[in-house]
A = this chain, B = another copy of it.
Amino acid sequence: MGSSQKQWKVIQGGIASPTGFYASGVKAGIKYTDKFDVALIKSEVPASAAGVFTRNVVKAHPLLLTEKHIRDGKAQAIIVNSGNANACMGEIGEKAAMQMAEVTAGELKIPVTNVLVSSTGVIGQEMPMDKVIPGIKEAAQAVKRIAGEAKEDIKDEYSHQAALAIMTTDTTVKEMAFELNCSQGPIRLGIMAKGSGMIHPNMGTMLCFITTDAKVEPAMLQSLLKEAADESFNMVTVDGDTSTNDMVVVLANGLSGIEPKEEEWGLFSKMLIEACCSMAIAIARDGEGASKFLEAKVKGARSPEDARKIARSICSSNLVKSAMYGEDANWGRILAAAGYSGAYFNPDKADIFLNGLQVAALGQGLKFPEDEALTRLKNKDILIEIHLQDGNSQACAWGCDLTHKYIDINADYRT
C-alpha cells in the first residue's frame, strides 16, 4: 500500500471533510440510552453514487431499499442506524426502512429516491420507530445547523459523532480523510466504517461510507469502488461469507469543481484503495475479542485470485487463529490452510515466515529457536508470510486471533 511518492496525504477529519458534505450523529436510544446510534450524511447537491453489497441470499430491508435507490447512480443522503439490523422482519421491516428514507427526505427536502438507508445490529427484532424517527429529525436539524456555519472544527466534531453512531461492538472509531493534489487543485475523500464480529465466515456486519468532492461519473465510481473493495474489504469480510446488512457506499458530489485528468485517475484510485485498506485493517485490528492483528502476505502465487484465496484461507482458519492467540509457531497449520484454500500450488516450494523469522523452507520445517519465535509472536501484530515461488502474484489478507473473549461476546449477543 502506498509509495514514497504519494501525491495525496491524510488530513484531519472524516466523512464530512470533502466540500459540500455534512454529517451528524445523535443518541436516539434504539438499543442503549446513552450511545450515538443514528448517523446522517448529506451532500449539498445530488451526488454520483456507487455501492457494493452483501452477497448473502438473506438481505436486510434497508439494504434492499438502498440497492433500489442507488440504481440510477444518484444519491444525496445516507441515513444509518446501529442497534437494530432491521432484517428478517417481513412487511414491517420493509415499511420501517421506507419510513426512515421518507422522514430523512422530508426533513432535508430532497427526493426520497435520493436517500440511502443502512442498519446494523440484531437480526429479527422490530425497529423501534418511535425512537428512530425523532432521532432522524434531530440528526437532520444538526446537519442543517452545521451547513449554516462554516467552521471546520464543528463540522469534524459532528461527523465524528456520525462515525460513533454506526459502531456496534467496535471498540475503536474508524474514520479518516485524505486530500489529493490534482493539477487543477485539491480533491478530498472522507471515509468512515464499522466492523467487529469480523472475519468471514462470521458475517458480523461491515459498513463503510465514503464521500468525495471529485467529479466522477457513476459508472466510473462503481468500477473504482469495486476494485478498491476487492483489495480491501473482500480481504477481510465482504466475501462469499457476509452478513445480511453489509454495504460499502460512495458518494461523489463534484463540488471541488475538479475532475481528475486522465493520468490522475490512477492516483485517485490508489487513494481510494488506501482509504479502503486503512478501514479494512482497522476493522481486522478491532475484530471481536481480538488480542492480536494478523496479516497474511502471499507471494509467488500462480494468479492474483489464487493469492487472495490462500491469504484469506490462512487468516480465517480457526486453527491458525487459535495458534496465534497461543503464540505458538505452528506453521504446519498455516501450510495446511493454504493447502485447502482451493488454490493450487506446489507445497514443496513454500517458505513460511512469522514476523520475519523463517520457520519453514521448501515445505518443510526448519529448526528455528523456539524462544526467538515466542518473542516474535508476543507482538500484538503478526505478519504471516508465505512465499510460494510458484508464480508472480501476491495478495494480503487481514484478520485477528481467536480468543476466549470472542466466545464470551458471541455466546450471548442477542440478549
Contacts and interface: CB of A to CB of B under 8 A. Distances in A.
Contact of A57 (B319, B328, B345): B345
A360 interface: yes
A242 interface: yes
Interface residues of A, number: 67
Contacts of A363: 58, 88, 90
A317 to B, nearest CB: 6
Contact of A244 (B197, B336, B343): B336
B340 A240 contact: yes
A225 interface: no
A127 interface: no
Contact of A89 (B329, B338, B364): B364
A278 B150 CA distance: 71
Contacts of A313: 201
Nearest to A205: B336
Contact of A365 (B88, B339, B345): B88
Say what secondary structure dominates the interface of chain A.
Answer: loop
Contact of A407 (B89, B204, B403, B415): B403
Interface string A43-62: 00000000000011110000
Given A201-B318, A412-B328, A413-B330, A365 B124 contact: yes
Contacts of A348: 90
A125 B335 CA distance: 14
A317 B242 CA distance: 11
Nearest to A85: B332
B123 A340 contact: no
Interface of A: 55-58, 85, 87-90, 122-125, 197, 201-204, 240-244, 313, 316-319, 322-323, 325-326, 328-333, 335-340, 342-345, 347-348, 360, 362-365, 370, 402-404, 406-407, 410-415
Contacts of A201: 201, 313, 316-318, 337, 340
A410 B87 CA distance: 35
A203 B402 CA distance: 16
A325 B124 contact: no
A242 B323 contact: no
B58 A125 contact: no
Given A331-B124, A363-B88, A56 B339 contact: yes
